[in-house]
Each structure stands twice: as structure tokens, then as C-alpha cells.
Amino acid sequence: MTKPRTLFDKIWESHLVDKQDEETFLIYIDRHLVHEVTSPQAFEGLRMSGRKVRRPEATLAVADHNVPTTDRSQGIADPESRTQVEFLERNVAEFGIPYFPVTDIRQGIVHIIGPEQGFTQPGTTMVCGDSHTATHGAFGSLAFGIGTSEVEHVLATQTLIQRAAKNMRVNVEGKLPLGCTAKDIALAIIGKIGTAGGTGHVIEYTGSTIRDLSMEGRMTLCNMTIEAGARAGLVAPDDTTFEYLMGRPMSPKGAAWEQAVAYWRTLPSDPGAKYDKEVTLNAADIVPQVTWGTSPEDVLPITGSVPDPADVHDEQHRLSMQRSLDYMGLTPRTKLSDVKVQRVFIGSCTNGRIEDLRAAAQVAKGRKVAPGVNALVVPGSGLVKHQAEEEGLDQIFIDAGFEWREAGCSMCLAMNADKLEPEERCASTSNRNFEGRQGRGGRTHLMSPAMAAAAAVTGHLTDVRDLT
């Protein structure tokens, strides 16, 4: 009898090309996403060594980090951003890589467009020069972020040199309480295991709560896996996955579809498969989450208060907490729901999908953005934007006083014009609250789209459950 294997083991074993030594393997990469920020030096490397792209058709490129979210007909004003996008366009043309131009309706954040196009598929290996590649694990694809040297390696060889990861299982059981979303599960997990809790591991999410999540929710959860330090997140493919993928432009068609689904059904972990680490959460215990500090693990239920460094024994951790609070301009023991915000950002590859916009619109509907608050809604792709407009969500946001923008990364990392001013406080649906992430001196509180919309209409961090 063969040993029971995990989903990760199955994907890993089916991608081994060669063994370098006991720990180091050459693995095959099925899918490669490319964006403008982490690729120029990789293409330059290819050019300098006279190398070609091995499988241009296994690659998909898009500009997302630098693009403006306002009118694009005039091109990109910032010269450096424009150069990066122009370089990408030149590189994809020279190397024959499929590309969605900035003005194409399919343009959007790499991690939104991959699934949307059916480029992301179960059982594949998938990489991108971007840590949130973990998002695609929602489809049961082993997807992880790589550095630029590795981007070059994949372009040239369609392989990567990797060490096997350890298996970790995060099991979430039960019905998610009202007002809680996949984002709250993700933040609650990071709060529990810490930002290094998953280091060296691939996390497989299992349990009834996960099975009940939509693909959008699973993507949000897998997206945040990197913030728990893990290399990748995985959810076993099931009917929800297949339904989402069916009929997408790059999904298999006809007989190939049947063949693919039959294969995908063999992927879930075998009963009795062993994990190196296991964590269990009870969904019923989850309360809407917000971060208070400058690391995603600095997270608490919205019903809590800003922590007090005086309660921390370990000196390095106490100093780190003090530093975070100073940066965030927060006083220990302040109720989180008393913290006022000036900005709201709804978007990013974590929460820029249609379901996220629907959740935020539901809260915004018939309400007004609080005086003194500036709130942005940035759809994750042109297609998400289009769909939202079909559903009339744009009008709900605009009537409530939100700004309705073009697709891109936007204020998730503030490489374009959308950024916080020093000391401005933002309720954000993105994934990182690091110092300066949304603009130098800017203060980020991470939360779900519904919670961000609630903060927009009240002007302070708010328990969305109080608004219904």
C-alpha cells in the first residue's frame, strides 16, 4: 500500500524533474505570471546572456503595481512608473509573452486576473515575482512568490530549484458568525500562529468552514498565507472550484475539461495523510478582526483595546510593541472602536474581487462617508469593475461619497499616486500594515471590506455588526 499523501505531496511529486542532492530538487513550473516591478532585471539578464524564454505561452504578463487608477487615456504621468511599464511592454513584445495592456478590460492585479482568465488551475505549479502568488493556492495550485533571479530562471528554463516544504494543516470547523469573512479567518490565524508561524511550510486549509467558502473567500485566505510566513497556501479543489473555472477563457474545454476534472478529483489529500504541524480553529470563536500595529500579527478582535507594552515580558517584543504604537500614534488601552480614520482603501489582491465589493456596497448602501474621510474603491481588475458596474455597485459607492477607480494595486503599496500622507490613518482591505507601506508615515489598519466600509461611514474603526 502506498503511503497516504497530502495535496502538497501530490503536486510536488508530479513536478520533480531532477534531483540536485538529498534536499534540493529541480521542479517544473506550469504557469508564470509577470508584472512590471520585479521583471525588468530578469529580462535584462536573459538578454545579456543571449537566452530565450522557454515557454512564452505558459507565461502571462500585466502591469498592475504602477498604473494610475484615474483616467488612463493620457498615459502614465510619473516618468519612472511609465518607464517600468514601457519596459514591460518592450520585453513581452521581444520575448513573445502574452500581455494584457493597461487599457485592456482584462488588465488588473496579477493575482486577480490569473483566476479570472482560468490561467490558474488545480494541480499546477505557479509562480510570480510577487509574494502574494499564494492567492492561487485557493484552486489547489502550488503557487508561491519568487525573487527576480528566479523569475529569470523560470523564464529561461521553465523550472526552479527548490527544497521540499513541510506540510502544515490549518483546520477551521463550523459556521462563520455573521459579519465575519475569509479575511477575519486569515487575520485570526496570523494572530494565533504569528508572522513566522508558517515559515518553511505549505499550509493546507481544511475543515467545513473552508469548504463553505466561495472561491473569492478561499483566495483571500490563501493570499494572506504569506503573512503567516508560509511559502504557499492550499485548498483542495472541489465542485466550487470546478464551477468557478468552467467556461473561463483559458480553462480546458470539451473533452479536455472532462479529463482535467477527473484528474483534479484525485488531488485532495488522502485520508490519514501526515502533516508536520496542525492548528485548529473554531469558526464560531472568530470576531471581526482589525490590526493595531505594524505587522499583520498585531491583530485583535474589533471589540478589544490597544495593547499595553507594560504587559509584555520579553524585552525585544516589548520594545517592538512600543515602536509600533509610537508609529501608529496609539495610546495603550484605547478602545479600538474609538480610533478615528481619515482614509479608507477597499481593493488589492486580497480583497479586490466582486464579492468583496458587494460586501462593502451592502454596508455603504444608503449611508454616507463620514465628514473628513476620503474613501477609495479600487476594483482588482477591469472585469471586476465592469461586473460591479453591471450590478450597480459603482453607483452605490458614488452616492455614498466613495471614489470609484480603475483597476490596479493602488494604495496597497502606494507605488502610484494613491498614497497616505504622514500620520494619516487608513482602514484598509489590503494585506500589509508595515511602516510606510501605504505611504511614508501612513498608518494602516487591516480588515475586511465590510469592516472598511463601516469605518468609512462612521469615521472610526467600527464593528460592522453594530451597523446592521
Partner 1 sequence: MQKFTTLTGVAAPLPMINVDTDKIIPKQYLKTIQRTGLGKALFDEIRFNPDGSEKPDFVLNKPAYRKAKILVAGENFGCGSSREHAPWALLDFGITCVISTSFADIFYNNCFKNGILPIKLPQEDVDKLMEDAERGANAVVTIDLEKQEIRGPDGGCIKFDLDPYRKHLLLEGLDDVGLTLQKGSAIDDYEAKRRAATPWL
Q: How far apart are CA 312 and CA 188, in angstroms?
A: 20
- From the CB of 105, what's the least distance to partner 1, in Å? 25
- From the CB of 310, what's the least distance to partner 1, in Å? 19
Interface with ligand SF4, residue 183, by CB under 6 A: no
Residue 416 near residue 78 (C-beta atoms within 8 A): yes
What is the total count of residues that contact ligand SF4 (CB under 6 A)?
13
Interface with partner 1, residue 249, by CB under 8 A: no
Identify which of residues 15 and 437 has a Cβ nearer to ligand SF4 in the complex: 437
| Half-sphere exposure in the Cβ direction for 379 (13 Å, CA) | 27
Residue 439 near residue 410 (C-beta atoms within 8 A): no
Segment 267 to 326, residues that bind partner 1, using CB under 8 A: 295, 316-317, 320, 323
Q: In this chain, which of 259, 266, 280, 334 binds partner 1, going by CB under 8 A? A: 259
Task: Candidates 5-13, 140-148, 168-176, 351-359: pick the segment binding partner 1 (CB under 8 A).
Answer: 140-148
Phi, psi dihedrals of residue 25, rounded to the nearest 5°: -130, 155
Task: Candidates 122-130, 183-191, 370-378, 379-387: pick the segment binding partner 1 (CB under 8 A).
Answer: 122-130
Q: How far apart are CA 124 and CA 142, in angstroms?
A: 6
Q: How far apart are CA 201 and CA 204, in angstroms?
A: 9
In the beta sheet, which residues pair with residue 282? 173
Which residues lie below 8 Å from residue 392, measured CB to CB, with a gap of 6+? none
Task: List the beta strands (DSSP E) in 35-154.
Answer: 59-62, 99-100, 125-128, 142-145
Binding mask 101-120 toward ligand SF4 (x if CB under 6 A, else -) reads --------x-x---------
- From the CB of 65, what's the least distance to ligand SF4, in Å? 5
Q: How far apart are CA 40 and CA 84, in angstroms?
A: 8
Q: In this chain, which of 348, 433, 448, 458 binds ligand SF4, going by CB under 6 A? A: 348
Residue 288 near residue 448 (C-beta atoms within 8 A): yes
Interface with partner 1, residue 32, by CB under 8 A: no
Task: Candidates 154-162, 176-184, 210-218, 389-397: pick the segment binding partner 1 (CB under 8 A).
Answer: 154-162
Residue 223 near residue 121 (C-beta atoms within 8 A): no
Identify which of residues 91 and 135 has a Cβ nearer to ligand SF4 in the complex: 135
Interface positions with ligand SF4 (CB under 6 A): 64-65, 109, 111, 130, 132, 348-349, 409, 412-413, 430-431
